[in-house]
Chain A
């Protein structure tokens, strides 16, 4: 820790042998190619630009990272031209300074040595390619352009993902004007087609829903996952936290949102819900219809039919009645959200409910689709597939996405792709699609790109590069310009030209605007404008009672995007591969999630291989139990089983896309499950989820909180009473609000990026050797719908508990270390002196929280997993945190390097450290503000305010360790009507 910064270099010098020298010499020879340098053009630092660069002092630049057609607004930390860490853009309302795990991990993929380095031409698609120059490609393109000019671009197809860049959309539009016979198709495996079609049913045109959770007092999620992974997560989770008591002092009479979830598979939203109903997916439309009828949102004859469609089971009916009552009471402050996996009718019904309650314009806005390109992607890709099958495509340009891997299997896109005579693939990695195209052109990483991006709220931000491209790559803008006959145009010029035209005004005014736009990362006043559509029309065919497809034998297989790999695009990112799935804690692969009851009926234990059969297609993958999942449902995450994703991603898990059909992308009925025989070792970071009657995650009903006296969590009795705070300059402390934690894992990845935490690989995870300093423990609350009696009702709710080092005042780890490597600092931190550690591991064996992490192998260097020991990856490392060698214990430091930097800055400025000057990496990333950190001596500090709350408690406080990290009990805003159901569950609390 302190003084540890030099250890890495010293250690490396000591181990210098002939091979190392040769390796370094080779690296030095490559240096000109991969040297880290700022881009050629002027980029503008985030706030102010000190005169000259101060060595050792990071600079921050605002930019955006694209995800499924939206730009995540971020600020990237750069050390001497080397981007190392992503933070959220506090000036952007969609971020507020927070990020998700994807954004945190983006900086690792920048330095992926597996990235494409030069254009590749393939004579035979699928085979090994030949390296070509860009000029070689441009020469070939010239020939094709001449043909397009003569035919108007007939046979030219452009396939992209929904486009988040207005400049790119304008470029494509211009290209299509030039070649009118060409066509632009769009594909995105995790798409919102159902939502847009639902809007077409209700309003006659595709409109997008922008929820305003902060304004809502009662939210119903119909298989919707607003808090789940995806581009909307940060904005909506922030919004949701604002509507909840969370870490804020619950005031009398303050209205607090109540969240209901009705869903088949456990989602982060379902986990955060106050009441959750597990329903078979076939029953959810009926539930929505019955609810709409109950609220009078479905007029006339449809109403009776809808009422009759109410789901079976006493608990479900009571749940429905309670939700209806609550929504009605909330009125315009109510919000019904339908998930992208639900059919269009459910979306239309949700629109009707919101319309009926007067919520449109209050708790949600409707906007025109934000992203560029055809609104509905499924018909778009189907049209392209038809053209491909008919041989009408002579030239295909594929930007982004990975359709050869993730397009619906029945379209057989991968089979048709190789037949295209001139196919161009622009992507940073040689993925499945690149393998099947004639030309694979390396694309810039987003952190190397000049561009612009619209965020989920429609605001536009400029994308500026942090680093000169590491390889011989180009951006989509530059390729588009080349297609349009201007191969010399740079991304910077294209972007400026676009915005100069859009902004108008004089050159100097534009320069001012440009500088401000780059600095802020968000353009003023560009949010999507809500439209006020006519009254919502209910869907023509309200789901019939006892919907027929439920009767189909076999299981309903549900496809969900992976919380870490999303649609598979992040499979090559080792941080995300090793990020535990929130519920099963599985890393490095996927599994078939089955409700425990179903798994028992099939005699499938966790880790047993299951055989999944649907019309001849077969998958074999291990089973994990998913408490809280509806019966008759099996869930599999997409994005695994990549065939070309580098040493990190290739062949991890099982690819579920072959079972996906374009007609029903989210669900496959009539799937047969059986035991395949054999077992697979599951690389999971946690396998015991019960609390065993221990006081670990406390949960209190909001109503009970008001009756709690403050300071109930007193210290255990001691013969040697001490003052609450020992003497020292500062007393750092942390409070984690478990009500606000949604289990999104952003903090885990942020910690990994900030603290140079190595990846250990699946074998080591299976052995139980993860290195994450901050982990999120998942425990199961007792069953909720116990009184319901039917298998689908209720289930075990997961509770999330982020566990960093507790930084105990009476730390058990300190007295046991024989060499004084574990020491207490004046500010109350348990410091670990890596240089001094000899690796007795006594500290971890005595740590009741078991938060310390031991380098059983040389994970960071000599024994790094896959290609993670590549020198290029070292560029990502935070220079202010030492890299730990083999045989050394490490642990959470409260980001001591940030404390130290803030302290030096305050000292130089001659002022005391103010509250908020030190923000830990986990705290910064958290979208809900669950983590508060600060000086316990500062009476005005947020952390002090939280510690005084009645529901503040210390984990395992009775052991007398006096942890500085404490928790706020999880508050549940339960509905008294449904709370009666819970008493049955509460009695079972003592079980196990």
Chain B
């Protein structure tokens, strides 16, 4: 894209022998995990996020006590923030798997520096996303009725419903994410076991390392399993968000009943997920001292992906508008007109700016290689994608076929509390996991070391393509 020299994936300290380089790499990654003092900043962040978790607990308790009436829902807007948050979180939960699997299979080795925390992010986000469909229910304690379990009534779920597929998609995806993340973690857990200074650390890491000794047979089995999982993961990640799209597309509300929804949702998920990866990369790299591993090369690459994502999103929006006009249905046409010019148009335009316009800055290489610029843009995309989820849910329902039922959705305090609480929970779990588990895959990032480095020789600085 630019004529500039390719950026290094790894910024090795100068004058480092290969043997030293391996140790340096492991030390850089394992250091923050095993370092005893936790730092005031970490405690502050944990405290804040715990306070947010308390808000989540209160809002969930209040929800169970008083029912979904505490939200801004009404007879037309029967779906609200809970569904929007669900779609948004599951979207974020897509990126880790895409980075890990898709980039692994396409041999994008630079991914090795970011895939671990992206997978962690995926796991946490998908788990949080899985909460929302249950909280959304009118009678959440009966959520298991969606599961085909043997019961005296011989009653199964209703298989035509996308919500049932959703249940399987989320459950399958969560299981996969957990296994994939854990599998990748095993060799690193063994490294931590070996480096841990406390007896508890050795025990704990040792327990989860499942007796990994780094034998060739271990590596062979690991590699085989890991690649097979990766091959499984790609269709899974696409199916998850396709099914989420079908939740909407199989309803005949204007603006929902569109065949573009499954791919549109997958792209949107990838887009918001990659944005979240960048959003997390900047603080992780800064506070865990991983500047040498997460380099400008990564920001550059993700920046390009974000540009691509924004273009696909723009194409999707244009397609939506075009099909609304070309399809000729009054309700669809008026919905587009309402979105662009109606009472809530400011939110729609803000969403377009965040999702389409903002990313165009990243055509400029200098912007892509400025972590804080990419961070700001990615933050904007995260907000824009959340707005998009909310608008998808509320616009169609509040401007449906019969004008007599047109009503606006006005979120209440408890709508916002649940969103803030879920963000806090995410932050809290991420803080804890990054504190006790390596943020970057140690064994995979070793592959980033220059292969041509002679044993005991000097690494040619920045020569890793």
Contacts and interface: CB of A to CB of B under 8 A. Distances in A.
Residue among B252, B253, B403 with most chain A CB within 10 A: B403
B67 A887 contact: yes
Contact of B78 (A689, A812, A854, A961): A854
A694 B330 contact: yes
A887 B78 CA distance: 11
A509 interface: no
A341 B161 CA distance: 58
A818 B157 contact: yes
Contact of B406 (A687, A767, A801, A819): A687
B139 A839 contact: yes
A764 B253 CA distance: 24
B361 to A, nearest CB: 37
B352 to A, nearest CB: 24
A840 B137 contact: yes
A845 B404 contact: no
A249 B264 CA distance: 51
Contact of A887 (B68, B76, B167): B68
Interface string B233-257: 0000000000000010011110000
A838 interface: yes
Nearest to A813: B251
Contacts of A691: 403
Nearest to B68: A856
Residue among B161, B162, B406 with most chain A CB within 10 A: B161
B407 to A, nearest CB: 4
Contact of B252 (A689, A848, A889): A848
A94 to B, nearest CB: 33
Given A817-B161, A819-B157, A848 B400 contact: yes
Interface stretch (B107-115, B140-148, B187-195): B140-148
A692 B74 contact: no
> How many residues of A sit at the interface, in one of the four size bands?
35 or more
A849 B79 contact: no
B402 A818 contact: no
B162 A816 contact: yes
Interface in B63-112: 66-69, 72-79
B402 A854 contact: no
Contacts of B138: 837-841, 854-856, 886-889
Contact of A768 (B146, B155, B331, B407): B407
A842 interface: yes
B185 interface: no
A817 B251 CA distance: 11
A959 interface: yes
Nearest to A838: B142
> How many residues of B sit at the interface, in one of the four size bands?
35 or more
A853 interface: yes
B266 to A, nearest CB: 21
B69 A857 contact: yes
Interface in B153-176: 155, 157-158, 160-164, 167
Given A818-B146, A845-B78, A837 B139 contact: yes
A582 to B, nearest CB: 13
Interface string A871-897: 000000000000000111100000000
Interface in A944-979: 956, 959, 961
The A interface, classified by DSSP as helix, strand, loop or mixed, is loop
Given A768-B74, A770-B75, A820 B137 contact: no
Interface in A767-807: 767-770, 775, 777-779, 801, 803
B76 A778 contact: no
Contacts of A853: 75
B148 to A, nearest CB: 11
Given A848-B253, A853-B75, A856-B69, A778 B404 contact: yes
Given A818-B163, A818-B164, A886-B67, A839 B404 contact: no
A359 to B, nearest CB: 39
Interface in B28-85: 66-69, 72-79
B250 A846 contact: yes
B334 interface: yes
Contacts of A693: 330
Given A815-B160, A836-B145, A887-B139, A694 B331 contact: yes
Residue among B75, B142, B334 with most chain A CB within 10 A: B75
Contacts of B397: 845
Nearest to B146: A818
Interface in A676-732: 686-694, 696
A779 B402 CA distance: 10
Nearest to B333: A693
A432 interface: no
The B interface, classified by DSSP as helix, strand, loop or mixed, is loop
B79 A857 contact: no
A694 B401 contact: yes
B139 A848 contact: no
A632 B67 CA distance: 47
B137 A777 contact: no
B167 to A, nearest CB: 7
Contacts of A764: 69
Interface in A856-880: 856-858, 863
B401 A777 contact: no
A838 B331 CA distance: 30
A449 interface: no
A850 B397 CA distance: 9
A844 interface: yes
B67 A850 contact: no
B446 interface: no
B76 A840 contact: no
Contacts of B330: 692-694
B434 to A, nearest CB: 35
A672 B79 CA distance: 45
B405 interface: yes
A725 B331 CA distance: 29
Given A768-B407, A769-B69, A887-B138, A816 B75 contact: no
Interface in A811-847: 812, 815-820, 836-842, 844-846
Contacts of B404: 686, 688-689, 775, 777-779, 801, 803
Given A816-B250, A838-B142, A857 B67 contact: yes
Given A838-B138, A887-B68, A850 B400 contact: yes
Interface in B371-404: 397, 400-404
Given A818-B161, A855-B138, A959-B252, A841 B67 contact: no
B136 interface: yes
A834 to B, nearest CB: 11
A854 B163 contact: no
Nearest to B156: A820
Nearest to A855: B138
A770 B76 CA distance: 10
Contacts of B401: 694, 848-850, 956, 959
B75 A850 contact: yes
B17 to A, nearest CB: 60
A816 B158 CA distance: 8
Nearest to A842: B163
B163 A816 contact: yes
Nearest to A695: B330
Nearest to B165: A818
B69 A845 contact: no
A98 B167 CA distance: 49
A837 B139 CA distance: 8
Contacts of B78: 841, 844-845, 854
Residue among A694, A863, A888 with most chain B CB within 10 A: A694
11 contacts: A686-B404, A768-B74, A816-B250, A817-B161, A838-B145, A844-B75, A848-B400, A848-B402, A856-B138, A858-B67, A863-B69
5 A-B pairs closest in CB distance: A839-B138, A887-B138, A768-B74, A846-B251, A856-B69
Given A692-B334, A818-B167, A850-B75, 11 more contacts: A775-B404, A812-B252, A815-B161, A816-B163, A818-B145, A842-B247, A848-B252, A856-B68, A886-B67, A887-B139, A956-B401
